[in-house]
């Protein structure tokens, strides 16, 4: 508890940091304020949302040092969850547009609530996949290594999905300045599929999930190696920045 308080103060300043800590940890209110954002952030007290808050706003795992020539105007947040990363990007970079993908209904409702007053952020209730269609999340009962994402068979349990080429076309994008992916193993199929969108991408921030689906890293690096990216690590994320950005 003390570390959460100290980190809130360190990142937000004394008064805003204490206020955020009290609302999250003491009062367990369903919203809190972050300096630099005009509206409160909504979350689910006592859930993994608190850990996500620590990762994104306190540990700042998406605070990437970009080249001075790369000033993000368009960001795709794939696996947006309830919107914390999209709000972090909005606060840090002030881009013209953030497209936030989240297929889960419960998460998406909070994503919409957290972003509805920011016209820059466009929430889309779809998963990122290698094609337009639908997916199923299947737990085979073997722990994390038994978790898989596959093409949907049963429409009752399916989630809508899209790919990056369709996003580029639908939203009339020529260049994506940042693609952030935290998509629970689906990166394997995404990078084994058509990756021509990488030619129009300046920065990729991705968390790999080989523990859930072996082969994720292999698929990502084989695709990335066809393009001119530099590579670094930030927390749990791999960061690829195009050399001519």
Q: Are residues 136 and 232 in the same domain?
A: yes
Give a yes or no: residue 73 inside a domain: yes
The answer to whether 84 touches 102, Cβ cutoff 8 Å, is: no
pLDDT bucket at 158, cuts 50 / 70 / 90: confident
DSSP 8-state symbol, 40 = P
Q: Are residues 19 and 116 in the same domain?
A: no
Q: Region 89-102: what's the mean pLDDT?
A: 97
Structural domain range at position 74 = 66-242
Give a yes or no: residue 102 inside a domain: yes
Say what the pLDDT of residue 140 is. Answer: 61
Give a yes or no: residue 60 inside a domain: no
Instruction: Give the DSSP H or E segment for 2.
Output: helix 2-12
Helices 84-93 and 105-115: crossing angle in degrees, nearest 10, is: 30
**What does the alpha-carbon distance between residue 187 and residue 220 come to, in Å, rounded to a whole number?**
7
Instruction: Give the domain CATH number at 97.
Output: 3.40.50.150
Structural domain count of the chain: 2
Angle at the Cα of 55 from the Cα atoms of 231 and 34, rounded to 5 degrees: 120
Task: Count other C-beta atoms under 10 Å from residue 56's C-beta.
Answer: 20
Q: Are residues 39 and 152 in the same domain?
A: no
pLDDT bucket at 165, cuts 50 / 70 / 90: very high
Give a yes or no: residue 133 inside a domain: yes
**What does the alpha-carbon distance between residue 119 and residue 115 come to, in Å, rounded to a whole number?**
8
Q: What count of residues does the chain have?
A: 245
Give a yes or no: residue 130 inside a domain: yes
Say what the pLDDT of residue 141 is. Answer: 60
**What does the alpha-carbon distance between residue 70 and residue 215 come to, in Å, rounded to a whole number?**
31
Q: Are residues 73 and 141 in the same domain?
A: yes
């Amino acid at each position: 508890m003390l570390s959460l308080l100290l980190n809130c103060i360190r990142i937000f300043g004394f008064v805003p940091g204490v206020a955020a800590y009290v609302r999250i940890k003491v009062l367990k209110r369903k919203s809190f304020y972050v300096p630099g954002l005009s509206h409160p952030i909504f979350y689910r007290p006592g859930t993994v949302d608190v850990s996500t808050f620590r990762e994104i706003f306190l540990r700042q795992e998406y605070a990437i040092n970009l080249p001075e020539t790369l000033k993000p105007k368009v960001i795709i947040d794939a696996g947006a969850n309830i919107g914390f990363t999209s709000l972090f990007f909005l606060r840090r970079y002030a881009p013209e547009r953030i497209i936030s993908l989240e297929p889960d209904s419960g998460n998406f409702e909070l994503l919409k609530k957290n972003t509805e007053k920011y016209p820059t952020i466009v929430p889309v209730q779809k998963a990122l996949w290698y094609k337009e269609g639908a997916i199923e999340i299947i737990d085979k009962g073997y722990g994390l290594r038994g978790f898989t994402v596959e093409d949907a068979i049963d429409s009752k349990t399916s989630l809508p999905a899209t790919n990056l080429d369709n996003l580029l076309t639908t939203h009339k994008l020529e260049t994506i300045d940042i693609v952030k992916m935290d998509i629970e193993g689906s990166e394997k199929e995404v990078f084994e599929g058509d990756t021509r969108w990488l030619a129009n991408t300046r920065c990729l921030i991705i968390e790999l999930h080989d523990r859930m689906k072996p082969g994720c890293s292999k698929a990502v690096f084989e695709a990335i190696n066809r393009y001119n990216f530099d590579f670094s690590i930030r927390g749990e994320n791999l960061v690829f920045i195009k050399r001519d950005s």
